Structure 1
Amino acid sequence: MTYVIIHALAPIFVIMLLGFWAGKTKKVDNQNVSLLNVFVMDFALPAALFSATVQTPWVGIIAQSPLLLILTLSMWITYAAVYFLSVKVFKKSPQDAAVLTLTVALPNYAALGLPILGSVLGEGPSTSLSVAVSIACGSVLLTPFCLLILEREKARAAGENQGSTLSMLPVLMWRSLKNPIVWGPLLGVILSAIGIKMPDLVLYALKPLGLAATAAALFLTGVILSARKLKINAVVILATLTKLLIQPAIAWVLVVIFGIQGPVAVTGVLMIALAAGFFGVVFGNRFGVQSPDAEAVLLFSSILSILSLPLFISLTSGM
C-alpha cells in the first residue's frame, strides 16, 4: 500500500520540483507568474472541472448524496475552525487566513483521488464517479468561500466599499460567480441536472486543456515555492496535523453519526484524508496574496501523507 501511495504522489513531487527548479534557475520568472496563473485559473482548471462535472450523470450525483454530505460537512467544519483560529488566535490577515484555510480544508481530489481510491476499492465507473463528485463538491461548495473573502478584501483595499460583509455580499457573489474557476464546474453541474449532454466534439476539444490543468497548477506551485523560504512554525504544524489527522477524524465521526457504511463510508473518509490541494496557493497568487504557511502546509502534508494515508486505509478496511 505504501508503494501505491508513493506511486500516486510521485507525479506531484516531480512536477512541483521541475517548477521549483525552473524558478530557482530563472528559466521562469518566479517573481512574475501572472501569465501562467491566468492560464491555470481562467482556462485549464475551469475546462477540467467543467468536463468532469458535465459528464457526471445527475442520477449518479444524487445517488452519491451521502458522500456529498460527508465531504461537505468535513470541509465546512474544517474551514470554519481553521479560519477562526487563523484570524483570532494567530492574528493573520483575512486574505492570508482564507488562502491557508482553503489549502487545509480542500484535499487534493484532482491529483490523488483516483489513484488512492482505485487502489483500495478497485478502478471502475463507480470509483471514477466518486472522484468526479468529490471534485465538483470542492470546487462548487468550498472554493467560493475563499473567493468571497479575497474579493471582499480587494474591494475594501480599493476603497470601493467599507460596509459590512453582508451589505457587500451581492456584489461579492457576482464577482465570484464571474470567475471561471467557479462558473465552469457550476455550469457543468447545471447542464447535468437539466439533462443536456455536451457534444462529444466539444468535450474532445476541451480534453487537452483539461489534461494540462493539474500539471500546470503543480508546476506553477513549484515556481511559487521557489521564490519563498519555507519555515516551520506553530501555524504550519497545527494546520498540517489538522489536514492529515483531524479532518479525516471529523469525516470518520460523521460517517458513524449518520450510519453510513460500505464503499461510500470508505470513500468519504479516504477522500478527506488526502493531502492538501494546490487551490489555496494558486488562488492567493492570483489575488497577490502570499501565504508562506499555506505553501509549507501543501508541501509537508504531501510528504507526510505517506504515513497518514495507510493509517486511515487500515481503519476503513472494516467498513
Structure 2
Amino acid sequence: MTYVILHALAPIFVIMILGYFAGKAKMVDNQNVSLLNVLVMDFALPAALFTATVQTPWAGIIGQSPLILVLTLAMWITYAAIYLICTKVFKKSAQDAAVLTLTVALPNYAALGLPILGSVVGESAGTSLSVAVSIACGSVLMTPFCLLILEREKARLSGETRGSVLTMLPILMWRSVKKPIVWGPLLGVILSAVGIKMPDMVLASIKPLGLAATASALFLTGVILSARKLKINGPVLVSCVAKNLIQPFIAWGLVMAFGISGPVAVTAILMIALSAGFFGIVFGNRFGVQSPDAEAALLISSVLCIVTLPLFISLTASIH
C-alpha cells in the first residue's frame, strides 16, 4: 500500500520540482506567472472540470448523495474553522486566510483520487464516478467561498465597496460565477441534470486541454514556489494537522452520524484523507495574492500523506 501511495504522489512532486527548477533557472519568469495562470485557471482546469461533470450521469450524481453530503460538510467545517483561526488567532489578512484555507479544506481529488481509491476499493466505473463527483463537489461547492472573499477584498481595496457586505453579495457572486473555473463545472452539472449529452466531437476537442490541467497546475505551483522560501510557522503547522488528521476524523464522525456504511463510507473518509490540493495557491495567484503559508502547507501535507493515508486506509478496513 505504501508503494501505491508513493506511486500516486510521485507525479505531484516530480512536476512541481520541474516547475521549481524552471523558475529558479529563469526558464520561466517566476515573478510574473500571469500567462501560466490564465492557461490553468481560465482554460485547462475549467475544461477538465466541465468534462468530468458533464459526463457524470445525473442518476449517478443523485446516487452519490451520501458521499456528497459527507464531503461537503467536512470541507465546509474545515474551511470555516481554519479561516476563523487564521484571521482571529494568527491575525492573517482575509485574502491570505482564504487562500490557505482553500488549500487545506479542498483535498487533492484530481491528482490522488483515482489511484488511491482504485487501489483500496477497486477500479470500476463506480470508483471513477465517485472521484468525478468528488471533483465536482469541490469545484462547485467549495471554490466559490474563496472567490467571494477574494472578490470582496479586491472590491474593498479598489474602493468599490458600498454599504455592507450583504448588499455587495449579489455583485460578488456574479463576479465569481463569471469565472470559468466556477461556471465550467456548474454548466456540466446543469447539462447532466437536464439530460443533455455533449457531442463526442466537442468532448474530444477539449479533452487534450483537460488532460493538461493537473500537470499545468502542478507545474505552475512549482514555479510559484521557486520565488519563495519555505517557512514553517503556527498557521502552517495547524493547517497540516487539520488537513491530514482532523479533517478525516470529521468525515469519519459524519459517516457515523448519518449511518453510512460500506464502500461509500470508505470512499468518503479516504477522499477527505488525501493531501492538501493546489487549487488555493493558483486561485490566490490569479488575484495577485501570494500565500507562503499555503505553499508550505501544500508541500508538508503531501509529505505527511505518506504516513497518514495508510493510517486511515487501515482504520477504514473495519468499516462494513
Same fold, judged at TM 0.5 (above): yes
The runs of 4+ residues in structure 1 deviating greater than 6 Å are: none
Counterpart of 2:214 in structure 1 is 214
Counterpart of 2:96 in structure 1 is 96
Counterpart of 1:138 in structure 2 is 138
Counterpart of 2:29 in structure 1 is 29
Counterpart of 1:227 in structure 2 is 227
Q: Give the letter for the 2:214 counterpart.
A: T
What TM-score do the two structures reach when normalised by structure 1?
0.99
Question: For the residues of structure 1 that align with 2:85 and 2:238, how far apart are their CA atoms?
Answer: 10
Question: For the residues of structure 2 that align with 1:61 and 1:108, how far apart are their CA atoms?
Answer: 20
Give the drift of 1:163.
2.6
Q: Write out aligned runs for 1:258-297 (5 A).
A: 258-297=258-297
Question: For the residues of structure 2 that align with 1:314 and 1:244, how far apart are their CA atoms?
Answer: 15
Q: Give the letter for the 1:315 counterpart.
A: L
Counterpart of 1:236 in structure 2 is 236
**How many aligned residue pairs are there?**
319
SS in 1 for 2:212: helix
Question: For the residues of structure 1 that align with 2:163 and 2:241, how far apart are their CA atoms?
Answer: 36
Q: Give the letter for the 2:151 counterpart.
A: E
Q: Write out aligned runs for 1:158-177 (5 A).
A: 158-177=158-177
Give the drift of 1:164.
1.9
The runs of 5 or more residues in structure 1 that have no matched partner are none
Give the drift of 1:286.
0.5
Q: Give the letter for the 1:35 counterpart.
A: L
Counterpart of 2:47 in structure 1 is 47
CA deviations over 1:88-135 (Å, ceiling 9, x no partner): 110000000000000000000000000000000111100000000000
Q: Write out aligned runs for 1:48-197 (5 A).
A: 48-197=48-197
Give the drift of 1:199.
0.2
Counterpart of 2:7 in structure 1 is 7
Q: Give the letter for the 1:179 counterpart.
A: K
Q: Give the letter for the 1:253 counterpart.
A: G
Q: Give the letter for the 1:236 counterpart.
A: V
Q: Give the letter for the 1:39 counterpart.
A: L
CA deviations over 1:236-264 (Å, ceiling 9, x no partner): 11100100000000000000111100000
Question: For the residues of structure 2 that align with 1:127 and 1:163, how far apart are their CA atoms?
Answer: 47
What TM-score do the two structures reach when normalised by structure 2?
0.99
SS in 2 for 1:150: helix
SS in 2 for 1:318: coil
CA deviations over 1:177-223 (Å, ceiling 9, x no partner): 00000000000000000000000000000100000000000000000
CA deviations over 1:284-306 (Å, ceiling 9, x no partner): 00000011000000000001100
Question: For the residues of structure 2 that align with 1:229 and 1:207, how far apart are their CA atoms?
Answer: 36
Question: For the residues of structure 1 that align with 2:26 and 2:262, how far apart are their CA atoms?
Answer: 50
Greater alpha carbon shift after TM alignment, 38-47 vs 160-169 = 160-169
Question: For the residues of structure 1 that align with 2:202 and 2:180, how far apart are their CA atoms?
Answer: 17
CA deviations over 1:131-189 (Å, ceiling 9, x no partner): 00000000000000000000000011110114321111000000000000000000000
Question: For the residues of structure 1 that align with 2:48 and 2:89, how far apart are their CA atoms?
Answer: 37
Q: Give the letter for the 1:273 counterpart.
A: A
SS in 1 for 2:159: coil
Q: Give the letter for the 2:50 counterpart.
A: F
Q: Give the letter for the 2:190 counterpart.
A: I
